[in-house]
Amino acid sequence: MTSTNDIRRWATAFPEVEETERFRFHVPVFEVRGRTFVGMGQDATTAVFRVAEHDRNSSAAAPKR
């Protein structure tokens, strides 16, 4: 199972990434230039990824492996 530390290592490997904390839930989120691209859920077992609509639609239409 992937842990918060695994997500942190993956996210911070990209340039310009800053780790912040959501004030309301106190969970880590990772941003580039103020835009969030991944965050952790409250239960620390859920990761939430932000993707462009075009990429989301393309991925959803891709055949399952």
**pLDDT surpasses 70 at 59:** no
Which residues lie closer than 8 Å to 30 by C-beta, 6 or more apart? 7, 8, 11, 12, 17, 18, 19, 20, 36, 37, 38, 39
Predicted TM-score (pTM) of this structure = 0.71
Report residue 55: phi and psi, to 5°. -65, -40
4-43: pLDDT as tens digits: 888 899 999 999 999 998 777 788 899 999 888 898 887 7
Which residues lie closer than 8 Å to 44 by C-beta, 6 or more apart? 4, 27
The residue among 48 and 17 whose pLDDT is bigger is 17
Amino acid making up residue 33 = R
CA distance 42 to 29: 11
